[in-house]
Structures are given as structure tokens and as C-alpha cells.
Amino acid sequence: MDRLLITDIDGTITHLPHHLDPEIIKNLRHLYHSGWKLFFLTGRYFSYANHLFRDLSVPYLLGCQNGACVWSSEENKFLYFQDIPSEILPVLETYVEDADVIFSVEAGAMNQDQYYRFASCPAEKDLLLQLDPIYFPNARERERLIETKNLSRDYPHETFAVAKIFGKKNEVKKVQERMNQSKELVSNLAMTLMRWPFDFDYAILFMTDKLVSKGYAVNRIVDLVYEGQRPFIMASGDDANDVGLIENGDFKIVMNSAPQHMHGIADFLASPAKDLGILSAWEAGVEQYRRIKSS
């Protein structure tokens, strides 16, 4: 039976935005060479995610923006894209005009990961102090950023991968509650409230095409790569957007830093990412696979 390790990134295999611990890299290499294929599935956009694996030196799949696209390092190509028509941007704008949040649109890898942002609110300075060191730590990364006062007017592409609303948790929840009253938004978008992994006082409302989720990405890869012949899946994550991913696992790993309601789906509750808790969880998953194979 084929074996596939699928894992979230932030809060699961790292607690830092631009660094993977050498022990994580070492274990991933070992797992690959012992027969496990690797699939990283993240909310990050492609350019922000892929640099983490520059020292990995083994093949992997990388799913970005909650599964809006998946890239194969071995083939050096994207296996699919699932984007949003930009006609919906004027509707989204009406919900953020007077909110104390930052609204951004990620154009997606096919559009060079351009990042369009509307930031004009009382808490703007505080919010940008959270965002910019993570997304734009240097001048090269900042070249992706286009600041605008009117996203629907200035956004030039026919589609985009993700829309995001960032702010204090309570502010983002207020926007989400109002958006949930819109039949147009609810019928066209998947809207997931996520903790900001670097400070839980903040949150992101993460919006993709209605079909897109991490669970959707897993199913697409089973169809595209495994031709529907499902491998043994070891799955791990730490936040609400990981539930579909984890539920697809034959061995389910939940970080103990995850929201309490997720703990019940775990076969293994792992210590936090800062303590490299995923390593003992992967070890347990490998043992579970061996038991099943030998039974």
C-alpha cells in the first residue's frame, strides 16, 4: 500500500514564519527514503510557503491557499488551480469599508503571487506590524505588494486565489457574521475563520472558491496522483482549516495547541510545534501503518 504524509505547516511543523527546524527536515527526508510521499498543505501563498523547503532535497507536493492550487516539486508544475472570478470583489468591499480590518486579495501563483491590499482603518498601524514582518520581510518580497484604496477598480486579473480579512479576532468575527447573511457570498465562497498562528488575539477570515478546502485538495491529489487508489494517509494540523485534511487521515494527528473541539478527532494529540511535537506523532503514525500492514 502506498503511504502519504500530509501536513499543515504553521503551528504544526513550525512556529516560525521563515524557518524549519533541521530535525524536521531530517525526519522528512528519512520518511521519504523509507517510502512515504510528502504533501504539505497550507494557507500560505506559494512563494511564501515554498522557500521553507529549499533544503529538503527530496520530492514533495505543496498545496497552497487552503488547497486553491497544488504544485509538484518533482514535475516542477502545478497540478491544478481553483480560483475565484474577480467580479465578486465589489461585493466583498462593501463589507470591509467601515470595518477595523485589513482586506487583501492574493492573486495566486499564476499571477506571480501578487498581493493587493486595502489598509485604511483606525487599527491599521497595529495590524500592519503583525502582517508585514511575516509576509514582506525584505524588499524582494515587498515587490509583490500593491497597496490600493479601491481593490475592485485596481485589481487587473480575471481571477484570484484568496481574499483575506485580518484584524483583532472580535472585529473579524463581526465582519464574518455580516458576510454570512449574503446569499451571493455564501453560495460562491468558502469562508473559514482562522487564528493568526503567530498571535491568537488576531484572526483571519480566509475566503476561497466554494469548492476549495484542504479536504478538497486531498481528494484531488488522490484522484490525480493515485488515480483514485487511496494510499494510507497520515494527516496532521492545528486549526479549523485543517479539519477536512485531518479527517481524511487513516492516522489523525492534532496538535494540542489546536482549538479544543478538534482534540476529539485525534488518534494522536501532539505537543506544540515549538517543542517539535510532530516528530513523536509521525513516529506513532509509522508504527500504526506497520501494525496494519503486518496484521
Q: How far apart are CA 223 and CA 229, in angstroms?
A: 8
Work out how many domains the chain is built from and give that number.
2
Q: For 18, list phi and psi in degrees, rounded to 5.
A: -130, 25
Which has the closest alpha carbon to 202: 171, 228, 236, 239?
A: 171
Full residue range of the structural domain in which residue 32 is found: 3-81+213-294
Same-domain check for residues 189 and 157: yes
At 35 the three-state DSSP class reads coil
pLDDT-based confidence at 281, cuts 50/70/90?
very high
pLDDT-based confidence at 101, cuts 50/70/90?
very high
Least confident of 21-25, 106-110, 121-125, 183-187: 121-125
Q: For 202, list phi and psi in degrees, rounded to 5.
A: -110, 160
Q: For residue range 38-74, what is the model confidence (pLDDT) as tens digits?
A: 999 999 999 999 999 999 999 999 999 999 999 999 9
pLDDT-based confidence at 176, cuts 50/70/90?
very high
| CATH number of the domain to which 266 belongs | 3.40.50.1000
Last residue of a domain, one of 209, 225, 251: 209
pLDDT-based confidence at 136, cuts 50/70/90?
very high
Same-domain check for residues 116 and 13: no
Last residue of a domain, one of 181, 209, 237: 209
> Is the model's pLDDT at 295 over the cut of 90?
no
Q: How far apart are CA 207 and CA 158, in angstroms?
A: 17
Last residue of a domain, one of 209, 230, 258: 209
